[in-house]
């Protein structure tokens, strides 16, 4: 697995060297680092994901996918405020980015702010009633909220 990771990292770095203005290569490298962080439980990979995505953001500052990858890494590095900021920016760029919507709602839920979490999701449903995973996340957050004393919906 480590060799496959190293080979993928080398290939993406080579692709960036060959085509430094290609936004998608930076996204793919950030995804690789985030997945490695999840697989190997090593925060250095999340730090590399942030660095790769920020490098790509110099090429394409208005790329919501890079902002999502930065947020993913920040959330794993326990920097939730920064993750929330990046997801809010991603959604300002693309209000119908369902993964960013769900991620932002889950961060608000983790902070115990069920009202804000559900507001984010409800706004997404207003834009796209079929937004992937949003209705399911609403149900999950409502169920989670209802297990916390004093937060049950009335």
Kindly report, residue by residue over 33-61, the tens digit of the pLDDT. Answer: 999 999 988 999 999 999 999 999 999 99
CB–CB of 37/45 below 8 Å? yes
Cα–Cα distances in angstroms (integers) from residue 69 to residues 18, 64, 115, 125, 133, in the given order: 22, 9, 25, 23, 18
- DSSP conformational letter for 148: S
Q: Packing angle between helix 98-110 and helix 134-145, nearest 10 degrees?
A: 10
Which residue in the block uniquely carries the two structure tokens 């169920």? 143
Q: Where are the beta strands (DSSP E) in the chain?
A: none
Q: Is the pLDDT of residue 2 over 90?
A: no
Q: What is the pTM of this model?
A: 0.91
Q: What does the alpha-carbon distance between residue 53 and residue 115 come to, in Å, rounded to a whole number?
A: 30
Q: Is the pLDDT of residue 154 over 50?
A: no
Which residue in the block uniquely carries the two structure tokens 């085509």? 19
Q: What phi and psi, each to the nearest 5 degrees, are found at residue 123? A: -65, -40
Q: What does the alpha-carbon distance between residue 104 and residue 58 come to, in Å, rounded to a whole number?
A: 23
pLDDT band (50, 70, 90) for residue 149: confident
CB–CB of 73/30 below 8 Å? yes
């Amino acid at each position: 697995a480590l060799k496959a990771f190293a080979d993928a990292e080398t290939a993406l770095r080579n692709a960036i060297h060959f085509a430094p203005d290609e936004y998608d290569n930076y996204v793919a490298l950030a995804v690789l680092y985030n997945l490695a962080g999840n697989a190997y439980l090593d925060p250095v990979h999340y730090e590399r994901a942030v660095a790769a995505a920020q490098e790509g953001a110099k090429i394409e500052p208005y790329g919501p996918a890079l902002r999502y990858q930065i947020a993913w890494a920040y959330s794993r590095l326990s920097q939730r405020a920064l993750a929330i900021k990046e997801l809010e920016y991603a959604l300002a760029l693309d209000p119908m980015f369902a993964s960013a919507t769900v991620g932002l709602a889950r961060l608000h839920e983790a902070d115990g702010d069920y009202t804000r979490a559900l507001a984010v999701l409800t706004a997404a449903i207003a834009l796209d009633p079929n937004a992937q995973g949003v209705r399911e996340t609403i149900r999950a957050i409502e169920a989670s909220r209802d297990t916390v004393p004093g937060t049950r919906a009335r």
